[in-house]
Structure 1
Amino acid sequence: MTRWVEPMGLLHGRGAFAAVAAGAALPLEGGATAFTLVRLIENGRIIGLMPAVETPEAWQDAVLALTRPLQPFGGLPDAASLGRPQVMAVLNVTPDSFSDGGRHFDMRAALMAADAMLEAGADMIDVGGESTRPGAPPVDPETEIARIVPVIREIAKNAPVSVDTRHAATMRAALEAGAEVINDIAALRDPGALEVAAEAGCSVVLMHMPDTDLVAMHQHAEYEDVALEVTEFLASRIAACEAAGIPRHRIAVDPGLGFGKTIEHNLELVNRLPLMLGLGCPILVGASRKRFVGTIAGVTKPRDRLAGSVGVAVAAAARGAAMLRVHDVAETVAALKLWRACVTGAAVQG
């Protein structure tokens, strides 16, 4: 029997604290957000929607688990202490990235960009050497390693680095160069990837995509309940990690917006993000400059999708995202600070 509790009726800031104090809501992950309702799901079927404080006894352990703070991820301050989600800055060391057209392919340009991202408020730099845009040719690990290792080695001297790769060999080389986090779109399904992560003792981000083939995944964009199916996939990958010796507190999850999903699927995943909080792991959301953002906003060029990307980032933060993977760091950090200040009535300094 599989059970999930989906927090609903979210409140933020003063309203959340007042509702918890009045016994009308429960705190979400011990922070400044509370949930007033829960949707109970059993074996893929919704069996009830009710006040969170009136959950049947058989479900109470699962509900109370949603109230406990998560452990910090990747050695970074958690969202509660930061006053906003962590910001993971995208640094593509590729000649064919969909978002920047290879602007950071040169090492000097990449290092200058990383410095600017950190100055703008990034908490971690996510370095990738393979484009995952639709139709991009695959990159072998040797080429990928040659692109990213020199960059990672320099950035890691002064800042936390994650490596955006799906190849076990690249993971090992990046970790040896100083990366602290593996950010894998394939959720450690490459042969040897689980073993590399377990041996290194690093943190990992597991992303959902319905097929490990970047072309074939778009042929599998069919779901009866996309939020539930993505959550259950991620639960299975968490279980695989734990079996390999990677503890849950070193795992974050990513719903994989745009990877084998339609616009409607992406929107449903953002809207129902709190369902994934039942996994007990921080949630990373990466919507920055993606095609669905441009389609909804009516913007063709990826670099012109700033406003839409920030809009999705704030929506994800309001629904429990602990990390956001973004291209436009300064604008995202500012928007998050203003959103938090508006809902709490207190400005976030720094």
Structure 2
Amino acid sequence: MIRMQDLRKDFTVRVKAGRLRREKRIVAAVDGVSLTIETGEMVGYIGPNGAGKSTTLKMLTGVLSPSSGEVSVFGLTPVPQRTRLALRIGVVFGQRSQLWWDLPLHESFRLLRHIYRVPEAEHAARLRRCRDLLGLDDFMDTPVRQLSLGQRMRGELTAALLHGPQVLFLDEPTIGLDVVSKQAVRSFLAELGATGDVTLVLTTHDLADIERLCERLVVIDHGRVVHDGTIEALHARYGSRRSLVADLDEPLPAGFELPGATRTGVEADGHRVTFALDGTSAGGAVAALVAAASVRDLSLVEPDIEDVVARLYTANGAP
């Protein structure tokens, strides 16, 4: 579906080289990215600011030409075959709109049907599905300029899907949204991806989006891929561990050790203890703890993906 081979994009910037002089410098926004994305995959493409995420998406959608390397989507080269490609992809950029600012939302959808030459019955069926799943009916007659950010983003997603694209590129689709709007967008995208009909490539700083939607995670830093795999593989690679938090009737004896776990915290005068599980099963750790102490309550805390990704960035020299 999508293929990138040694993909590179350079920009020329001017930097200070003295009090009055500036000199040109070549900066690699994307530096030799090689990836293959198969039909139906849901891929999270993340990285710190300036890592090259949006630049990659712009090359995949034909907005920017690569400086070198190869890129193809459906076997099409994005820039020279941009018109043909546009009929087969959907794009949502969080800070850009494809809706008509002064028209009611439904009029934007009607215009997009004519632009993409979508048969009326197909357009109506897709619009009906989006209206139901994204709750559009309450503001279909509202001019786009009067919509809230969450309402507009739901409209943008609908606009990107009405022509039946096979790939959906999303750049920060939940940025700035309230909790309710984020949940609506995530639920919609999860249902969309579950059908396997649309390949999804998502860039975001909100890692909850990635955990909810994407099985595959690609991390880019300084223009290069530093991780390509599952979220579980990322946790394993950077040593993140689940934590066992126990509330006790009495503090543990001095020198107590829980097999397969490391004590990482003690609170409330010893009545609450936290252990990091060192690869052992949670069941075994719980059984050993219950056998050694009077336990009032237990909770198992999963590792925080944000902490893991932050460690990855730090390991690769990101600020």
Is the TM-score greater than 0.5? Answer: no
Rg comparison, structure with higher value: 2
Higher helix share: 1
Q: TM-score scaled by structure 1?
A: 0.29
TM-score (norm 2): 0.32
- The structure whose RCO (Cα within 8 Å, separation 6+) is larger is 2
